[in-house]
Amino acid sequence: QVQLVESGGGLVQPGGSLRLSCAASRSISIYAMGWYRQAPGNQRELVAAITSGSRTNYADSVKGRFTISRDNAKNTVYLQMNSLKPEDTAVYYCNANKLPYSNYWGQGTQVTVSS
């Protein structure tokens, strides 16, 4: 079992920045890690992912604005979010995955982009 705890969400104005953190209860070095988000009335969607080898991929909607990174020594994954837009408003969830059976979620952190 891996417990994941997100932090860093909040209210920010359009064009602003936030950095989300996801702290794991134990080593994440073997896991692919991801950030997902879910806005009211929408399905949960992948925002960014990073493999155990630190390869990254991003949703088209956040490319060039968001950066995912990992610090295995601290058992933590980050999501740096710049140039935030109102449509980025959602609950952001951290995920740890290792096929075929391991899949863990955090409780989520709210990000609200509004003036």
Per-residue pLDDT of the chain (115 residues; tens, 9 = 90+): 899 999 999 999 999 999 999 999 999 999 999 999 999 999 999 999 999 999 999 999 999 999 999 999 999 999 999 999 999 999 999 999 998 889 999 999 999 999 9
Place of tokens 């980025």: 88
Q: Rounded to an integer, what distance in angstroms lies between the CA atom of residue 111 and that of residue 72?
A: 25
Cα angle 104, 107, 108 (rounded to 5 degrees) comes to 110
H or E stretch at 7: strand 4-7
